[in-house]
Structure 1
């Protein structure tokens, strides 16, 4: 089976590298530059024209949002018009549920098979090939792709009908967002109480307050590093999608709504280009404190003195 992938960002690039390593025959589509040159040197076929994807059997999209996916498939280039019946399109990105249903319907009308297969895990897990993949669509199509999925995912879950992959990813992401928002509130509180940030981090990550969010973000917050996770501006779509679904179903989500407010407050204060750990900055500003390790705080003080 010939495979193509479009979208070579934070997650797409390592996924493509693992696909190339496992499958050998890979078409990579992206803007010309260092990344496409890298794949060309590694032996992949490279194109800057999305229409080239019509020559492969299975297309992976790892794009920022559903609007971009829709534009690729049905927009100016109308890639769907070039696809043949039996062609497979796999959306690895985070696309809205309703957008996913529309994409699936339009592809199915053309005889093209579609899987919504969003992934969970940071870029490090993408590099390791140990992502979690949640898939919606026809089971036979999922099973036909399982071996290929295994090149970048160690856990592959068939969730049922089309759209269920995105809904499953959304549930997981919202829980992660709520955890990150809770950390953003409580860590500055501990600093306001003049508790040692390093020790607080140690207690949380060895106690009952521990979560994946705390294990990932606390060490990075302590070292003043807010660049390792997905940018908040790009990830905000998950909260929007959840609010839309909950509103249509008349489901109250008060904790999620509170986390969304923290998220919005952080972006409005100009921290949206950072990862979700950046939410701590909004509450640090409010309380006039910083939750940093002693060594990091000292280094920041010296930097500020030098600037002054």
Structure 2
């Protein structure tokens, strides 16, 4: 028997004035999955997340979240969702413990003091419980925000650019906690534009300027796009890049550190061009599987900004 998705929506649409911010968005999310929302700033990720968790009403579309109708039962959805916004939104003049206690009161958490103490321990905040939130670093604010999201034991977490502005170690610690929650059956939707975070998601949906371009298991996204990628290493990469522009079969060229990644959807044409450059040297060429970053660069190249004059 197929499990009922935690989120199952079709045609979600939102317009602000004459701008279509989310354009007939569909998604189906299995329980316990980490589902990544990727896309550039202004692509509609935050608006979509807010519609899914009942904070914003859709203009069109239908479906369910946690078994409740996304357009008619928003209040019920909000009770069972933890939502972490891009900007730290707790009280900076309250301590860590006071903030968690306040959020627990809002949700009517039973045995509130015990639950707050457990949250402090679970997120490594116990030793700082009396510290004012406003004096915390970005990484510690992030932990506090996540603890507040989890205080009422939600079934679904919606995380909007949760690691923006924190150091790499804090990001790693955050993702360790997210994977632990996923193993415990909590479903996680996370918006990000960090590729190293995207690869940690079970599924990915890529949104560009209001439209969903692609979704599916993270490992299978490059194959869905249909890219073939060759890597060039060696001297004079800048000059090589200039020469490759417009060559037969070359759809995109991307610099990754000391290598050049050359991709296209016509594998035979691309290989023919690569062999010509390989024979001439001095760079060394090798074929490699296309990655998520190559796939998303390619998708973005064909996406039109819905806030540009041309799209108006």
TM-score (norm 2): 0.31
TM-score (norm 1): 0.31
Return the index of the structure with the highest Cα Rg.
Answer: 2
Question: In proportion to residue count, which structure has more strand?
Answer: 2
